[in-house]
C-alpha cells in the first residue's frame, strides 16, 4: 500500500481529566462519514473509558490495565495488527486515546514500526490541556504534562469556562509552540475540520526515544519506561446502590495526591439510570446518563493518584460506607 492509501491516525493525548474522552465523543457523534476505529486506554484494571464512549457504531478497542506507551504497548501492537488484518472491515480512520499518563511520542514511535509504517500515517498528535488544572501540576506530573504538550501538533486548550480570560492569556503567553495549532475550547467544542484529516504531524525531533526531562532515578522510581512507577490506581466495584450524598462526601475527602477518579455508578436517588462520576482535582461531577438497558445495575470506580497516595484499606472502607 502506498502512503496515499494509508490510514490516518490521530493520537489524542493530555493529562488525566483534561477532556480527551469528551473530544472523542464529540468526534464520534459528529457526521464524519468515515468507518472509524477508536482505541481507548485506561491505566487501571477496569476500562471505564470504553463505557463512556457514546456511539457504539464504530469499532472500539480497549487497552486496559497499564499505560499504552509502556506496559500495554504489546497489546497496542497486537490489536492494531488484528485490525489491519481484517481487510474487509479495515477502518478508514483511527483515533487512539492515550491514557492521561502516556507520552504520545512513544505511541508515535510504535506506529512507525515496520509492520505499520506503510499502512498507517500519523495525522497529528493532539494534546488536550485543562486550562484550570495545568498550572496546579507539580514535579513529575508537570513534567509529564509538558512532554505531552511538547509532542503536540494541535493543542486544544480546554475548560476555558473554568478560568478567567487573563489566565488563558497567561497560559498562551507561556507556551511558545509556533508549529502547533492552538484552539481554545469549552467541552472540546472545536471545528472537526481543524483536527481530523489535517496532515499536521510534524516528526521533527520527535521520533527518537523520548528522554524524560527528569531522570527517573532522581525521582526514586524504577528506570523502566513504566508510568506505573509514578502512579498508583485503585478500583472498586459494587452491585449495591450508593447514596449520592455519601459518594460526594467520600470523593471530596480523598487526599490531594489523588488526581483523578471516574466511574459508572448505581445511585439510589437515580433508579433505573446509570450515573457517570468524574473527579478531576477537586472538581466533582455525578450526572445521570442512559438507562441500564438489560444489565443489572452496578458501580465501578477507578481512582488514580501519585505513587503511595492510595491507602487501599481506607478507600475500601470509605467506598463501602457509600452503600445506601
Ligand atoms: N467545565 C468543564 N468541564 C469539562 C470540559 N471538558 C471536559 N469537562 C469535564 O471534565 C471531566 C473529565 O473529562 P474527560 O473527557 O473524561 O477527561 P479525560 O482526559 O478523558 O480523562 P482521563 O481519561 O481520565 O485522562 C468530565 O467531567 C468532563 O465533563 C470543559 O471544557 N469545561
pLDDT tens-digit series, residues 266-276: 999 999 999 99
Distance set, CA 133 to CA 41, 104, 142, 266 (Å): 21, 20, 10, 28
What confidence tens digit (pLDDT) does each residue in 275-289 have? 999 999 889 999 999
The helix (H) or strand (E) run that includes residue 167 is: helix 165-174
Least confidently predicted of 1-10, 74-83, 91-100: 1-10
Helices first, then strands: H and E counts in the chain: 9, 12
Distance 232 CA to ligand 1 centre (A): 20
Q: How many residues does the chain have?
A: 324
User: Is the CB of residue 99 less than 8 Å from the CB of residue 304?
Assistant: no
What residues does each domain of the chain span?
Answer: 3-217, 230-320
User: Closest Cα partner for 127 from 195, 54, 34, 219?
Assistant: 195
Predicted confidence (pLDDT) at residue 219 exceeds the cutoff of 50? no
Q: Which residues line ligand 1 (CB under 6 A)?
A: 14, 16-22, 49, 100, 158-159, 161-162, 186-188, 260, 262, 278, 280, 285
Distance 77 CA to ligand 1 centre (A): 27
Is 263 exposed, middle or buried, given 0-12, 13-18 or 19+ CB atoms closer than 10 A? buried
The hierarchical CATH code for the domain 230-320 is 3.30.1220.10
Distance 116 CA to ligand 1 centre (A): 31
Mean pLDDT of 115-120: 93
Least confidently predicted of 17-26, 144-153, 208-217: 208-217
Distance 99 CA to ligand 1 centre (A): 13
Our mutation pick for probing the ligand 1 site, out of 14, 21, 131, counting the most ligand atoms within 8 A of Cβ, is 21
Our mutation pick for probing the ligand 1 site, out of 24, 189, 278, 284, counting the most ligand atoms within 8 A of Cβ, is 278
What confidence tens digit (pLDDT) does each residue in 224-236 have? 346 667 888 899 9
pTM of this prediction?
Answer: 0.90
Is 234 exposed, middle or buried, given 0-12, 13-18 or 19+ CB atoms closer than 10 A? buried
What confidence tens digit (pLDDT) does each residue in 189-204 have? 999 999 999 999 988 7
Mean pLDDT of 94-113: 91
- pLDDT over 90, % of the chain: 62
* Closest ligand 1 atom number to CA of residue 160: 31
Tally of CB atoms within 10 A around 176: 7
Predicted confidence (pLDDT) at residue 220 exceeds the cutoff of 70? no
Q: What is the pLDDT of residue 218?
A: 35
Q: 223 pLDDT band (50/70/90 cuts)?
A: very low
The hierarchical CATH code for the domain 3-217 is 3.40.50.300
Q: 221 pLDDT band (50/70/90 cuts)?
A: very low
Q: What is the pLDDT of residue 213?
A: 40
User: Is the CB of residue 71 less than 8 Å from the CB of residue 228?
Assistant: yes
* Closest ligand 1 atom number to CA of residue 49: 23
> What would the DSSP string read from start to end of 282-317?
TEEEEEEEEE-TTSPP-EEEEEEEETT---HHHHHH
Cα-trace Rg, the chain: 19
Cβ neighbours for 320, distance < 8 A, ≥ 6 positions apart: 238
Q: What is the pLDDT of residue 231?
A: 87
11 vs 216, residue with greater confidence: 11
User: Closest Cα partner for 274 from 258, 290, 261?
Assistant: 290
Q: What is the pLDDT of residue 73?
A: 82
Q: What is the pLDDT of residue 75?
A: 86
254 vs 56, residue with greater confidence: 254
SS3 322: coil
Q: What is the pLDDT of residue 46?
A: 73
CA separation for the pair 201, 217 (Å, rounded) = 32
User: Is the CB of residue 138 less than 8 Å from the CB of residue 257?
Assistant: no
First vs last C-alpha separation in the chain: 58
Q: 14 pLDDT band (50/70/90 cuts)?
A: very high
Q: What is the ipTM of this complex?
A: 0.99
User: Closest Cα partner for 97 from 45, 149, 25?
Assistant: 25
What confidence tens digit (pLDDT) does each residue in 44-89 have? 767 787 788 876 667 888 776 677 667 678 888 999 999 999 888 8
- pLDDT over 70, % of the chain: 88
User: Is the CB of residue 286 less than 8 Å from the CB of residue 247?
Assistant: yes
What DSSP state is assigned to residue 267?
Answer: B
Q: What is the pLDDT of residue 102?
A: 87
What confidence tens digit (pLDDT) does each residue in 281-317 have? 889 999 999 999 888 999 999 999 988 999 999 999 9
* Closest ligand 1 atom number to CA of residue 128: 19
Q: What is the pLDDT of residue 276?
A: 96
Amino acid at each position: 500500500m502506498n502512503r496515499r492509501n494509508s490510514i490516518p491516525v490521530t493520537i489524542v493525548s493530555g493529562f488525566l481529566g483534561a477532556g480527551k474522552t469528551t473530544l472523542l465523543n464529540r468526534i464520534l457523534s459528529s457526521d464524519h462519514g468515515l468507518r472509524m476505529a477508536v482505541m481507548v486506554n485506561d491505566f487501571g484494571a477496569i476500562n471505564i473509558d470504553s463505557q463512556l464512549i457514546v456511539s457504539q457504531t464504530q469499532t472500539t478497542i480497549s487497552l486496559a490495565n497499564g499505560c499504552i506507551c509502556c506496559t500495554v504497548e504489546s497489546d497496542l501492537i497486537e490489536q492494531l495488527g488484528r485490525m489491519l488484518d481484517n481487510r474487509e472491515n479495515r477502518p478508514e480512520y483511527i483515533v487512539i486515546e492515550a491514557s492521561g499518563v502516556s507520552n504520545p511520542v512513544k505511541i508515535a514511535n510504535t506506529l512507525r514500526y515496520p509492520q505499520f509504517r506503510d499502512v498507517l500515517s500519523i495525522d497529528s498528535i493532539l494534546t488536550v490541556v485543562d486550562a484550570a488544572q495545568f498550572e496546579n501540576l507539580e514535579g513529575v506530573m508537570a513534567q509529564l504534562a509538558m512532554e505531552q504538550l511538547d509532542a503536540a501538533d494541535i493543542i486544544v486548550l480546554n475548560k476555558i469556562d473554568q478560568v478567567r480570560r487573563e489566565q488563558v492569556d497567561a497560559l498562551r503567553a507561556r507556551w511558545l509552540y509556533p508549529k502547533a495549532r492552538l484552539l481554545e475550547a469549552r467541552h472540546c467544542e472545536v471545528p472537526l475540520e481543524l483536527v481530523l484529516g489535517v496532515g499536521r504531524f510534524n516528526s521533527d525531533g520527535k521520533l527518537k526515544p523520548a528522554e524524560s526531562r527528569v531522570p527517573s532515578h532522581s525521582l526514586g522510581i524504577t528506570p523502566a519506561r513504566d508510568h506505573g512507577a509514578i502512579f498508583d490506581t485503585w478500583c472498586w466495584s459494587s452491585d449495591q446502590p450508593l447514596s449520592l450524598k455519601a459518594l460526594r462526601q467520600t470523593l471530596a475527602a480523598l487526599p490531594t495526591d489523588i488526581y483523578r477518579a471516574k466511574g459508572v455508578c448505581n445511585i439510589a436517588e437515580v433508579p433505573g439510570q446509570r450515573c457517570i462520576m468524574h473527579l478531576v482535582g477537586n472538581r466533582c461531577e455525578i450526572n445521570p446518563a442512559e438507562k441500564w438497558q438489560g444489565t443489572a445495575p452496578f458501580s465501578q470506580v477507578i481512582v488514580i493518584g501519585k505513587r503511595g497516595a492510595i491507602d487501599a484499606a481506607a478507600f475500601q472502607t470509605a467506598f463501602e460506607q457509600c452503600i445506601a
